[in-house]
Amino acid sequence: MSHKDLEKNLMDLIVEEQAKLGYRKETIRLYYPLESLRHFYDCADTADEMQARLLEFPEAVAKELGGVEVTHVKDRFCFLISEDGVEYVHAHQKENAFIRQLVELLGGHATLDDVKRLFEAQPYASTATVLDNGEFDLLIRFTEGDDPYYYCFKDEGCHVIYHRFLPADYEDFGF
């Protein structure tokens, strides 16, 4: 069984967190709903079955992520990544320049038009969709390149926030 997609996603989240908060050698916890994990493994596992599936995950990713603990309460899973894993990602994963630009842009008084311009300035084509679902105002995703995420933006009046989802997770919301 391959854990590569989940491992990559965990690393992507660590890189994103470090762009937002800065790097610190510390233990972190990343949470996933059961449904998201089912997408990684293309399965319909119960929470207990998923926990059993993930028993070998810590050993499979130990070289890159150091000590990892996987626990769950009901349908919510926690991946505790050790300081060594966080340090490995910091030292070995290239900083995501686009995420850094996005975080810096949204750290100021950006508008949705500013966000669109940032995406348009990237080397890969993207598509933007105006949303009216009560949660988000704008969805932008790259149509070329290797960034699989859907970026969802909400203008909260004084600032713009974003969340990024894998396509299957976005679809689960039913927007």
Instruction: Categorize the per-residue pLDDT at 56 as very low, low, confident or very high, splitting at 50, 70 and 90.
Output: very high
Strands 160-165 and 76-81: unpaired
pLDDT at 174: 85
Give CA separation, 31 vs 1, 76, 116, in Å.
21, 7, 29
Instruction: Categorize the per-residue pLDDT at 150 as very low, low, confident or very high, splitting at 50, 70 and 90.
Output: very high
Give CA separation, 54 vs 38, 70, 170, in Å.
11, 7, 23
Instruction: Categorize the per-residue pLDDT at 145 as very low, low, confident or very high, splitting at 50, 70 and 90.
Output: very high
pLDDT at 85: 96
Instruction: Tell me the per-residue pLDDT of 16-30, one tens digit each, with 9 for 90 and over.
Output: 999 999 999 999 999
What's the pTM?
A: 0.92
At 154, give phi and psi (nearest 5°).
-130, 125
Q: Quick one: which of 156, 172, 9, 150 has its CA closest to 79?
A: 9
Please give the Cα distance from 50 to 43 (Å, whole number): 9
